[in-house]
Structure 1
Amino acid sequence: MAESFTADSTGFKPGVLDRAAPFYVAGHRGLVGSAIWRRLESAGFTDLRGRTSSELDLKDRAAVFSYFAEVNPRYVVLAAAKVGGILANNTYPVDFLTENLQIQINVLDAAREQGVERLLFLGSSCIYPRLAQQPISEDSLLTGHLEPTNDAYAIAKIAGIMHVQAVRRQYGLPWISAMPTNLYGPGDNFSSEGSHVLPALIRRYDEAARQGLGSVTNWGTGAPRREFLHVDDMAAACLHLLEHYDGPQQVNVGTGSDVTIKELAELVAEAVGYNGAMEWDTSKPDGTPQKLLDVSKLTDAGWTAQIPLNEGIRDTVSWYRNNLAALRG
């Protein structure tokens, strides 16, 4: 079982992680996990551990416990999750709720049993109320109704935050949670049905440019405002938090600025070289009117985003085109 120690009783303070210690990244092949893996490698970590879903099904509790007993990681980042855009979340809420709960409970319980010293649980900004005051502070959690198109996924992520807080209270392990805004970058899901808004726009506009289409139709009105963070920035923030932050409250991770979906579509069109007309299907849902995170807690911890949105989109378009043949969907 995990040792019972607390920051108060042992004088625990965040600091530089041991680069030679076993470090397990759950979900290391996904958008976020692969970026964290790259960041850890570049930072000098020499004992990184990861398993693909075919090698280790994180929904299989016995298999997860066995793996943790074998590896005995000192550090863990839980980046594994079932994720998707509005359409996928709205169509398959049971899948998003049950699969994420299973993954989280198995990994967090196994990590607790092995006494993992530092664990970072990654959630999502969709945990906050649909009409939360903007920018959204960490204190907004559980103060209002969730966005109904992804409430099942949000509830699973809220449960993860509560799990981390409960482990801190009951077992004293200095685990933390981070809530990123909308992420994008190399390794994203560009499938036609499961992608988030930015990769979906990249795919749509790149196809339109290659096919010479005269117009592109996007979902909704284009009016909602969204914040976007390059996944390499997210990975840098994760390592920074592990080495500089300790506390029970989740930490928002974002840029502190947002754009309308129309402005985002214009940036994508420019990046792919599309010059046709832009149209909007207003019968499709917009989702939350605005979602901008208050990142003052992260700033106070000494970290700010570095990659401008237009630069990040160009980088992502380049990666997409270079990997088009191998992309899922």
Structure 2
Amino acid sequence: MRDLVVAGGGPVGMAVALHAHRLGLDVVVREPRTGPIDKACGEGLMPGAVAELADLGVDPPGRVLSGIRYLDATTSRRASARFSAAPGRGVRRTVLHDALAGRLATAGVPVEPRAVEDVRQTPDHVLVDGEPARHLVAADGLHSPVRRAVGLDAPGPGPARFGLRCHVAQAPWSSFVEVHWTPRAEVYVTPVAEDLVGVAALVGRGLRFEDVLDEVPALRDRLTGDRTRVMGAGPLRQVARSRVAGRVLLAGDAGGYVDALTGEGIALGLAQARAAATCIAQGRSADYDRVAQRLARRHELLTRALLRSTAHAPVRRMLVPAASRAPWLFSAAVNQLARPIEVPS
């Protein structure tokens, strides 16, 4: 009987498997999609995420990120904050996937090209499509089939938000992640290669990518290179009743998601991957929900506060001007998010 099956071969699922293998567990990853898996995301790794990857022996190529810059699309106001302890990195999602997959292959962790379709539990093991394993970790994304299968899905409150992303073939003009605030959306520009920038937008239902760019004419006019097709993801808000059901644990987006507003998703998912593998290896998988809640607390509190406040037009208009008038406060907030997420014991 295997110790662990991981449902999902994205960055968080592969990180769970690498941590589990390091801890001596017999682990397999189930992922039906082949090749590097792409996804509509901002592609900026916060310094904490870069540190988590380095600990796993993973060093994906990309562009150094010096910090975060907020820009008001309707005025010339801006606010910049540099990462004080270590840089971040802009990395294409496919490049990140290849780096983790290569490390998984080097470690000898098997990846089976099939999905998890049926989950049944007994007191001492879980049957995954009829095959016994001691535990199952679901890292199968926002719309996790495993989360639904074990009864942990819950309705997400509030208006739906979606992520859109394309790449533009041109040299980056900044080492900062630029966040352009418009009346209806946020647009993220991330350098990911010497000749490529990623452009991602967080939008409400029904808003098209071109609609968003029209609200940022200075950025629209600056994007002169060829564009890839626009990918989408969402609704972003997902709720799980718990991150543990018996011998099934949820990690990353499968365990619930608030919004991509703060750009901390990969760092949080990698910390949860470490925590899930550690709890299983130490025979205390029931503790994982408590540990995961503590890991997510800072991220979720700040993201919810930003979402609530910027939903009001007067507050939204004042955000960038306020950050530019109090650069020390903006820098403190950015570097709080940038620091590594400590996994509690």
Q: What TM-score results when the alignment is normalised by the length of structure 2?
A: 0.28
| Structure (1/2) with the larger strand percentage | 2
| Structure (1/2) with the larger helix percentage | 1
RCO comparison, higher one (Cα < 8 Å, 6+): 2
